[in-house]
C-alpha cells in the first residue's frame, strides 16, 4: 500500500534537493505570514491607541463646555500617540482673521497662550489652515520656505513638524502641530492618527462653540430684555439715563458705560450719565459734534469700535483712559427715526474684539435707550402742558401781587416809569416760561435766564445814549421751574437797580452776571457793575425800595438763601447765595 506524502500526491520519494526547495518555500511563506501578523498587530495597536486617544478625548469633551479647557489635554494626547517632543493647538478667533495659540505642552509657552497669533497663510500653521491639508517635514523644518520664526516659541530648536488642520464640515477651525527635536520621518500611521484626533477635536470645538454662542445669544437677549424693562419702567429722564448705563455695564460686563446727549444749540455732546466714580472722567469737557470717536458714530449712524483707546489717535482723552484702566471701546449711536440724539460709550478693561453679535445687541440697546429718552421727554412736556394752567395761574397771582405791592408805594416816578418796571417783572416771569417750553428737560439753564433778562432790560430800560455792556460769565447750572421763577425775578430787580442807580451819572460801563459754585454746596449769582458807587454809608437793611423788598421776600421765602449788596474791589455787587 503506497504511503501518502504531505509533499505531494505522488508516492515516489522526492529528492533531497526538492525537499530542500520546498522547505525553503514554506519557511518564506511562514516568514511572510509572521510579518503580516506583526503588521496587523502594529495596525491593531495603532487602532487601539487611536481608539484609546479618541475615547479619552470624548470623555474630556463630554464634561466641559469650553473648548479651551480640553485643548491642553489634546496637546498631551497628541504628543503621547505620535511619540513626539511637543505639541501646539491653534484656533481661529471669532472674526476668523487670526489663528491664536490656545494650548502647548512646553512650560515656557504657557505665558504665550492667547498672545501668539498668525494670519491665514502665514507660516506653516497659516498655510495648513488656508490649504486645509497636512504638512509633514522630517528635518530642518525651519528651513522650509513657509516657515515663520516666532522667537518666543523657540521653534528653531525643533527639526521636524507634522501640522494637521482641524476641519469641521469643510471649514478649518484651527491647526494642531507636533514636533520632534531630532529629525523624524512621520509614518502614514502617525499622520492618520493625528488626523483622526484633529477630526474629533474639530467636532468638539465646534460643538462647544455652538453651545457658547447659543448661551451668549441667550444672554444678549436677556440683556436687551432686562435693560428695556429697567428703562421703560421709569418716567423720569435723569433716572432713565442712569439706569440705562448701570444695567448695560452690569449685564454686558463693561468697565464703564457713559451716555452723552446732543446739545443742538452748542453742537456738543454733553455727558448726562455714567456709573464711573472718578472725578477726572465725570468732569471731562464736552465733545464737539464732529470730533472724536463719538463724532464718527454720529456721522455714520453706526457703532464705531476702537481696540485700544490709549493708543488710538482719534480718541480725545488717552491719559484719562490710562488712569481709569480703559482699553477697548464701542461707541453706540442713539437713534430715533434716523435722527441721532446722542451716543452710549461702552468701555472694556482688557483688549476686546467686539463680535457681530455684540454689536447687534448694542445697536438694539441703543435704539431702546433712545426711544426711552424720547418717551421721557414727551412725558415731561405732556405733564408740563397739563400743569401749565396751574403754573400760569400761580404766576398771574405773582404778577398781581407785584402790581398790588407797587400800588402801595408812593414814589416820585412817572406813570411810564412805574409801568416799565412792572413790564420788566412780567417779562422776567415770561422768560422762564419761554425757556421751559423750549428746553428738552424739566429744568432750566440759569445762564439762559440771565441772557434773556439782560437782553430784555437792555432793549427796554437802558438809555440809548449810554454805552453799557452786559454779559454773563461762569459755569452754567440748572434749576427747577419754581426756583427758576424766583431767580429770574431777583435777577430782573438786581440788573434793573444796577442800570437805574449804577448808571444814573455814569454814561458807560459794564454789568456782569457772574455764576459760581461754592464749596459748601451752594450756588452764587452776583450782579456786578462798575458804574456809580453805592452811597457812603450804605446799609441795605435800612432801604425800603420795592425792588429790594421783592428780592428779600423771594430770597428768604422761596430759595432759603441770603442776599447782599456791597462794594467789592471797586464794583457794586448784588449777590444771591442759596443752597443747591
Question: Which has more pLDDT, 52 or 253?
Answer: 253
Among the CATH numbers 3.40.190.290, 3.30.565.10, 3.40.50.720, 1.10.645.10, which is that of 409-579? 3.30.565.10
* 373 HSE (CA, 13 A, CB side): 29
Distance CA 368, CA 334 (A): 8
**Domains of the chain, residue spans:** 45-213, 234-376, 409-579
pLDDT at 472: 94
Question: Is 409-579 in the same CATH topology as 45-213?
Answer: no
Distance CA 236, CA 375 (A): 10
The answer, yes or no, to whether residue 401 has pLDDT greater than 80, is no
Question: Which has more pLDDT, 67 or 18?
Answer: 18
The answer, yes or no, to whether residue 214 has pLDDT greater than 50, is yes
Choice among 171-175, 197-201, 256-260, 306-310 with the minimum mean pLDDT: 197-201
The answer, yes or no, to whether residue 37 has pLDDT greater than 60, is yes
Q: Which residue has 402790581 as its cell numbers?
A: 403
Percent of the chain residues past pLDDT 70, beyond the cut: 76
Q: 539 pLDDT band (50/70/90 cuts)?
A: confident
Q: Which residue has 503506497 as its cell numbers?
A: 2
Hey, is 269 helix, strand or coil? strand
User: What average pLDDT score do residues 509-529 get?
Assistant: 92
User: What average pLDDT score do residues 494-512 get?
Assistant: 89
pLDDT at 544: 62
The answer, yes or no, to whether residue 19 has pLDDT greater than 90, is no
pLDDT at 246: 85
The answer, yes or no, to whether residue 231 has pLDDT greater than 60, is no
pLDDT at 220: 60
pLDDT at 161: 92
8 A C-beta contact, residue 432 and residue 488 = yes
Query: Architecture of domain 45-213 in CATH?
Result: 2-Layer Sandwich (3.30)
Of the candidates 481, 485, 435, 476, the one whose C-alpha atom is nearest the C-alpha of residue 455 is 435
pLDDT at 1: 46
Q: Kindly state the cell numbers that stand for 562.
A: 441770603
Q: 574 pLDDT band (50/70/90 cuts)?
A: very high
The topology (CATH level 3) of 234-376 is Beta-Lactamase (3.30.450)
The answer, yes or no, to whether residue 115 has pLDDT greater than 60, is yes
Q: Kindly state the cell numbers that stand for 325.
A: 484702566
8 A C-beta contact, residue 572 and residue 531 = yes
pLDDT at 248: 84
The answer, yes or no, to whether residue 368 has pLDDT greater than 90, is no
Q: Kindly state the cell numbers that stand for 129.
A: 489652515
Hey, is 544 helix, strand or coil? coil
Q: 89 pLDDT band (50/70/90 cuts)?
A: very high
pLDDT at 48: 60
Span 406-450, pLDDT tens digits: 555 555 656 666 566 666 666 666 666 666 555 545 678 899 889
Q: Which residue has 441667550 as its cell numbers?
A: 218
pTM of the model: 0.45
Hey, is 175 helix, strand or coil? strand
Q: Kindly state the cell numbers that stand for 351.
A: 483688549
Residue 173: CB atoms within 10 Å: 22
User: What average pLDDT score do residues 269-275 get?
Assistant: 88
The answer, yes or no, to whether residue 6 has pLDDT greater than 50, is no
Q: Which residue has 417783572 as its cell numbers?
A: 425
Contacts of 178 (CB under 8 A, 6+ apart): 78, 79, 82, 84, 86, 87, 161, 162, 194
Q: Are strands 478-479 and 86-92 parallel, antiparallel or unpaired?
A: unpaired
User: What average pLDDT score do residues 118-125 get?
Assistant: 91
Amino acid at each position: 500500500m503506497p504511503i501518502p506524502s504531505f509533499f505531494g500526491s505522488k508516492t515516489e520519494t522526492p529528492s533531497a534537493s526538492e525537499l530542500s526547495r520546498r522547505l525553503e518555500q514554506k519557511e518564506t511563506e511562514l516568514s511572510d505570514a509572521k510579518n503580516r501578523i506583526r503588521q496587523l498587530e502594529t495596525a491593531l495597536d495603532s487602532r487601539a491607541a487611536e481608539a484609546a486617544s479618541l475615547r479619552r478625548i470624548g470623555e474630556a469633551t463630554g464634561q466641559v463646555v469650553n473648548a479651551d479647557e480640553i485643548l491642553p489635554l489634546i496637546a498631551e494626547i497628541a504628543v503621547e500617540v505620535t511619540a513626539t517632543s511637543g505639541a501646539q493647538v491653534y484656533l481661529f478667533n471669532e472674526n476668523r482673521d487670526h489663528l491664536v495659540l490656545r494650548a502647548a505642552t512646553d512650560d515656557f509657552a504657557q505665558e504665550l497662550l492667547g498672545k501668539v497669533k498668525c494670519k491665514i497663510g502665514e507660516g506653516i500653521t497659516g498655510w495648513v489652515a488656508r490649504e486645509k491639508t497636512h504638512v509633514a517635514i522630517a528635518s530642518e523644518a525651519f528651513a522650509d520656505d513657509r516657515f515663520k520664526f516666532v522667537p518666543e516659541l523657540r521653534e528653531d530648536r525643533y527639526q521636524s513638524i507634522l501640522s494637521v488642520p482641524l476641519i469641521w464640515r469643510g471649514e478649518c477651525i484651527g491647526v494642531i502641530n507636533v514636533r520632534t527635536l531630532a529629525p523624524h520621518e512621520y509614518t502614514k500611521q502617525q499622520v492618520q492618527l493625528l488626523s483622526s484626533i484633529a477630526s474629533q477635536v474639530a467636532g468638539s470645538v465646534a460643538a462647544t462653540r455652538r453651545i457658547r454662542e447659543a448661551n451668549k445669544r441667550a444672554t444678549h437677549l436677556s440683556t436687551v430684555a432686562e435693560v428695556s424693562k429697567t428703562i421703560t419702567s421709569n418716567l423720569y429722564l435723569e433716572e432713565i439715563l442712569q439706569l440705562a448705563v448701570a444695567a448695560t455695564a452690569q449685564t454686558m460686563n463693561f468697565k464703564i458705560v457713559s451716555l452723552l446727549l446732543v446739545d443742538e444749540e452748542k453742537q456738543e455732546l454733553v455727558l448726562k450719565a455714567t456709573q464711573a466714580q472718578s472725578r477726572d472722567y465725570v468732569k471731562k469737557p464736552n465733545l464737539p459734534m464732529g470730533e472724536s470717536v463719538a463724532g464718527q458714530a454720529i456721522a455714520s449712524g453706526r457703532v464705531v469700535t476702537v481696540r485700544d483707546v490709549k493708543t488710538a489717535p482719534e480718541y480725545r482723552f488717552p491719559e484719562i483712559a490710562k488712569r481709569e484702566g480703559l482699553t477697548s471701546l464701542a461707541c453706540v449711536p442713539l437713534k430715533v427715526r434716523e435722527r441721532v440724539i446722542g451716543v452710549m460709550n461702552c468701555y472694556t478693561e482688557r483688549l476686546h474684539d467686539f463680535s457681530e453679535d455684540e454689536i447687534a445687541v448694542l445697536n438694539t440697546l441703543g435704539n431702546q435707550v433712545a426711544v426711552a429718552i424720547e418717551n421721557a421727554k414727551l412725558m415731561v412736556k405732556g405733564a408740563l402742558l397739563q400743569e401749565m394752567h396751574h403754573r400760569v395761574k400761580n404766576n398771574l397771582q405773582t404778577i398781581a401781587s407785584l402790581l398790588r405791592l407797587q400800588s402801595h408805594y408812593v414814589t416820585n416816578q412817572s406813570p411810564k416809569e412805574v409801568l416799565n418796571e412792572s413790564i420788566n417783572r412780567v417779562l422776567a416771569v415770561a422768560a422762564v416760561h419761554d425757556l421751559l417750553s423750549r428746553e428738552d428737560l424739566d429744568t432750566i439753564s440759569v445762564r439762559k435766564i440771565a441772557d434773556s433778562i439782560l437782553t430784555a432790560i437792555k432793549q427796554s430800560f437802558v438809555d440809548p445814549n449810554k454805552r453799557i455792556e452786559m454779559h454773563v460769565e461762569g459755569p452754567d447750572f440748572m434749576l427747577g421751574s419754581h426756583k427758576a421763577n424766583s431767580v429770574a425775578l431777583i435777577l430782573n430787580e438786581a440788573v434793573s437797580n444796577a442800570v437805574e442807580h449804577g448808571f444814573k451819572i455814569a454814561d458807560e460801563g459794564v454789568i456782569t452776571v457772574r455764576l459760581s459754585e461754592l464749596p459748601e454746596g451752594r450756588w452764587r449769582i452776583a450782579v456786578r457793575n462798575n458804574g456809580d458807587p453805592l452811597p457812603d454809608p450804605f446799609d441795605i437793611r435800612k432801604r425800603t425800595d420795592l425792588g429790594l423788598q421783592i428780592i428779600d421776600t423771594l430770597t428768604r421765602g422761596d430759595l432759603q438763601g441770603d442776599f447782599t449788596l456791597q462794594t467789592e474791589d471797586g464794583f457794586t455787587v448784588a449777590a444771591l447765595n442759596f443752597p443747591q
